[in-house]
Structure 1
Amino acid sequence: MLLTGKTAIVHGGSGAVGAAVARAFAREGAAVHLTGRTVPPLEEVARRIRGDGGIAHVARLDATDRAAVDRHAEAVAAAGDGTGIDICFNATSDDDLQGSPLLDLAVADVLRPVTKAVTTTLTTATAAARHMIDRGGGVLLVLAGGRETIPGLGGSHIAWSALTGVCRQLAAELGPHGVRVAWLLSPGSPAPGAENRADEGALLTERPGYDDVANAAVFAASDWARTMTATELNLTGGLVPD
């Protein structure tokens, strides 16, 4: 298993992507700490993980509350055998606003998802990174991107673009301490079936499913990707070429 003995935090652990990533981390041997604003759906994810033989813990947490996030990271780092935090994945929502052109949006509406996304990424990443620095390594993962050229993505697209800047800055500052940073670019993962057809312009016939995103996160978090940082994992099926 790729993550045996690792400790992972998944913020936004009850969302579709967060839950899939949490299950994949646990499947590969990591002890997973799930956070979110509402406990019951987190407990359901944890129940599935435990049912499959994995380790999962749940905590109610507002990822915009820096002090609360810091306290949670401190508790996770001290838990178990006290080996710290190996992986932190931020899958919290960004109050996305899509469907209208920028010409029709108020500035406040455009900036709201940007502020939320940058805030949660900074709070969660820096809280975990402080403990990763102490132990000489770790991996920070984020859902980001922003290279699509699709109209109507509004403030959400700008938020994703902003997050790539945050990730690059973190990678530059944390690399000397052995901490890696990567982000996943995915155009979304609808339910299987006809609706899972790739967007027009993609090179492959299907969008990635949640499990595809989760498996990419496992790879990025593992030692198999130990030389990768300040980098994007492109899961667009060729919609956004490199």
Structure 2
Amino acid sequence: MSAPLLSDRSAVVYGGGGAIGGAVARVFAREGARVFIAGRTQAKLDVVARDIAEAGGTVETAQVDVLDQRAVEKHADAVAAQAGGIDIALNAVSVMHDQGTPLADLSVDEFMRPVDGFLRTLFITSKAVARHMGHGRPGVVLTLSEPGSKLAVGGILGHSVSAAGKEAFTRVLAAELAPAGVRVIGIRPHAVVDAPAAGSYTGDLFKPLAAAAGQSVQEMLDGGGMAQGTLLKRLPTLSEIAETAAFLASDRAGAMTGAIVNLSAGALVD
């Protein structure tokens, strides 16, 4: 049996009670990391923590508003003091936003909601953890993006700009943190086929699009237009995202930084 990928690493997952954050936290713990999950809803964090503990992993929870910079910094300082530093961080925070509304009908608030929400949380969490990373020990910051960063389709202005911003943030932060030995890598999945069933906000996000096509959200994800628009004619799973995140956070991906890993099942070909 091969050694766990993340033995003796400390990992912070923001949005750790969500569908993607929870899936990644479970795999991080399985691979030997000491996991700290943070988010707004304690009940959701407790579900993930229970799963990890029952599987023999090490986990701690914290109810933290990731839009509160002081609260995030206080939490990161506490984690670093307890664990001797922070080795891995993932921002899996979700921000409800509009998809499907054209410019003529889109308000400035609707446009800015994902731009400000996603990028603000990414800035706050990255700044909080970066000062506790590197300088002789591994350091990895993982970000999440979407195919909207590159798609040229109507009705996703705010979503597309926020996704492109997250990828630009990832590249530039990689350059800034490289001298300290910290890697920064983005993961770009498409809509995740089993995320709504796991409680993801995308269940509500995609309802209008699915209704317009005369489908349920799950029908749209299982074999509808989103899947048919990929090369593999399917969408990624939570397990695939989580397993990829664990690999990227490990020494096996030690030469990779400043990259965006395409898990869109071929919705985009980089």
State the TM bucket, normalised to the shorter chain.
over 0.9
Structure 2 contact 87–134 (Cα < 8 Å) conserved:
no
Q: CA deviation at 1:166?
A: 1.1
Deviations 1:5-28 (CA, angstroms, capped at 9, x unpaired): 110000001111111011110111
Structure 1 contact 24–218 (Cα < 8 Å) conserved:
yes
How far, CA to CA, are the matches of 2:136 and 2:75 in structure 1?
18
Of the three residues 238, 243, 249, the one matched with 1:215 is: 243
Q: CA deviation at 1:136?
A: 4.7
How far, CA to CA, are the matches of 2:138 and 2:124 in structure 1?
18
1:234 aligns to what SS in structure 2?
Answer: strand
Of the three residues 7, 11, 19, the one matched with 2:10 is: 7
Would you say 1:179 and 2:182 are equivalent positions? yes
Letter in 1 for 2:233: T
Deviations 1:29-80 (CA, angstroms, capped at 9, x unpaired): 111111111101101110001001111110000111111111100000111x
2:227 aligns to what SS in structure 1?
Answer: coil
Identity of aligned pairs, percent? 41
Letter in 1 for 2:189: S
Letter in 2 for 1:173: E
Letter in 1 for 2:18: G
Q: CA deviation at 1:165?
A: 1.3
TM-score (norm 1): 0.94
Counterparts of 1:5-154 in structure 2 under 5 Å? 5-79=8-82, 82-145=83-146, 146-154=149-157
How far, CA to CA, are the matches of 1:12 and 1:199 in structure 2?
26
How far, CA to CA, are the matches of 1:52 and 1:69 in structure 2?
28
Unaligned 5+ residue runs, structure 2?
198-217
2:131 aligns to what SS in structure 1?
Answer: helix
Would you say 1:225 and 2:225 are equivalent positions? no
Structure 1 contact 94–156 (Cα < 8 Å) conserved:
no
- Give RMSD over aligned pairs: 1.6
How far, CA to CA, are the matches of 2:38 and 2:94 in structure 1?
12
How far, CA to CA, are the matches of 1:150 and 1:224 in structure 2?
36
Unaligned 5+ residue runs, structure 1?
none
TM-score (norm 2): 0.85
Q: CA deviation at 1:95?
A: 2.7
